[in-house]
Structure 1
Amino acid sequence: MIKVSILYPYRENGHFDVDYYRVTHMPLAAKLFGPSLKGWSVDVGVNAGPPGTPPPYVAAGHFLFDSAEDFYKVFKSAAGPLTADIPNYTDGGNGTILISEIKISV
């Protein structure tokens, strides 16, 4: 299984509407990705470790797929609408994409 993460860097005085991202943008992505998507979540940055420090990322969106190929197939057609929606929740542009393989150990 792979996780596609979109990381949005913290910027002093930057705008990021977490509620819009969580309630509107991520469900839009889930709808566009369809049944290939196995799950999604949103992280909101709190700090960089010590209390009162700004987080390195203001938010991160995560999507689970069985494989990177499954993600690439659905992302091609979803990229346009998702990119067009970015100004509705941030003035910081596209986030950084990280594709990682999930390894579970108990």
Structure 2
Amino acid sequence: MAMTLQVLYPVGPDTTFDYDYYANKHFPIVQEAMGDFIASVHVVKGLAGGPGTAPEFHAIATMNFASKEALESALKASGPALADIPNFTNVQPQMLIGETLD
């Protein structure tokens, strides 16, 4: 069964997020640490929460895995990626592990 890991970076009153660092430095760290287990990645930069509404998230990264075992292996290898988070944001990310329904 295919699995996903979503990492959500919520917007708050005093939150910061460096998109350039996230795209150009953090992504390669994630790829190096976890890439052997990831089937695909999709990242969205938050622009709005609806018409005329500010976004609730700076970004959401969705990583797709072929199996629960691949996801578990990626999580075990995620230390360098997790340690890098303070280099681009002061946000405590939220995570959602899910089963792909399609």
| TM-score band, normalised by shorter chain | 0.7 to 0.9
Superposition pairs for residues 1-106 of structure 1, below 5 Å? 1-51=2-52, 53-79=53-79, 81-93=80-92, 95-104=93-102
CA–CA distance in structure 2, aligned partners of residues 83 and 68 of structure 1:
20
Identity %: 32
1:98 aligned partner, one-letter code: L
Deviation at 1:61, TM superposition (A): 1.2
**Structure having the larger proportion of residues in helix:** 1
Task: Decide whether the 8 Å contact of 1:41 with 1:62 is kept in 2.
Answer: yes
Contact persistence 2:39–2:64 (CA under 8 A):
yes
Scaled by the length of structure 2, the TM-score of the pair is: 0.86
User: RMSD in angstroms over aligned alpha carbons?
Assistant: 1.5
Residue segments in structure 2 that go unaligned for 5+ positions in a row = none
- Contact 1:22–1:42 (CA<8 Å) still a contact in 2? no
Gaps of 5+ in 1: none
Give, in angstroms, the shift of residue 12 of structure 1: 2.7
2-side partners of 1:34 and 1:14: how far apart?
28
**1: distance between equivalents of 2:87 and 2:43?**
17
Q: After superposition, give the CA deviation of every residue in 1:43-75 in whole Å (9 maximum; x if it has no partner).
A: 111111122x21111111111111232111232
The whole-number CA distance in structure 2 between the counterparts of 1:60 and 1:82 is 15
Q: Which runs of 4+ in 1 moved over 6 A?
A: none
Counterpart secondary structure, 1:63: strand
Count of matched residue positions in the alignment of Structure 1 and Structure 2: 101
